[in-house]
Amino acid sequence: MQKSEPNRPDAPQELSLRERNRLDTWLAIHNAAADLVLERGWSATTVEQIAARARISNRTFFNYFSSKEDAVLGAQTPRLPQPALEAFRSGEQDLIHRAVYLTAAVMRASYPHDELRARRQRIIGSFPEVGVRLKRLAAEVEQLVEPAVAEEIERISTEEGISLERGTRDAAKAITLHASTIIRFAFAKDPSALSDDHADLVDTAIITFREVIQSSTWLK
């Protein structure tokens, strides 16, 4: 079932009263989940306790989050933001560069509210239980990005009259996984790399990977 998800706080459109109430409820649940886990520990925190702290029913909890893990992380179902997809298709950078930025945009949409980043990082560092969910979310992001990359490969191949020996599908998967790895590298060095105002950290990661791959030293 599709979960209710609030708009990002930096969304340009104004929120209706219903949307504002939904956003407030989403934040109340996430704050309750994150605070309880930090106070009591992972195993000692239950969905029932989270719902009680947020003053909602268990049923309402599952209208917003599919699991305790998502509530604690403040994670939303990955989606392709339309502006990011349009920028990917119309960008002048090389395909890998654009794929990295598209991947970052999808990841940002999956973890909204940048002001909560520090607490989220504390939770990720403290509770290995969220690791499985993080890996699954990363895979979901890649599944969204890969078709867009494949479409772009087809367009470039047609325009330039080239053919790929391994085929579009393998090329798209390779580029998508490469882009995802670059993002994880940037994030590992500095969690703020996924913020809109720290694109330079992503650019640095792209350059680092490019230099390593292009240097024949590492291939000997």
Query: Is residue 159 located within the same domain as residue 192?
Result: yes
| pLDDT tens-digit series, residues 107-130 | 999 988 877 888 998 999 999 999
- Considering the domain architecture, whether residues 100 and 208 belong to the same structural domain is answered as yes
Which of 36, 87, 30, 93 is closest to 56 using CA atoms? 30
The three-state secondary structure class of 36 is helix
Distances in Å between the Cα of 133 and the Cα atoms of 69, 140, 155, 157 are 7, 10, 34, 36
pLDDT mean over 198-212: 92
Question: In terms of residue numbers, what domain contains 30?
Answer: 17-69
Indicate the residue among 40, 69, 98 that finishes a domain: 69
Tell me how many domains the chain contains: 2
Based on the domain organization, do 57 and 153 belong to the same domain? no
Residues 65 and 122 in one domain: no
Q: State the Cα–Cα distance between residues 68 and 82, nearest whole angstrom.
A: 29
Task: Tell me: do 30 and 126 sit in the same domain.
Answer: no
Residues 108 and 159 in one domain: yes
Average pLDDT, the chain: 89
pLDDT at 157 over 80: yes
Task: Indicate the pTM of the whole model.
Answer: 0.84
* CA–CA gap between residue 85 and residue 62 (Å, rounded): 29
CA dihedral 38, 42, 48, 54 (to 10 degrees): 20
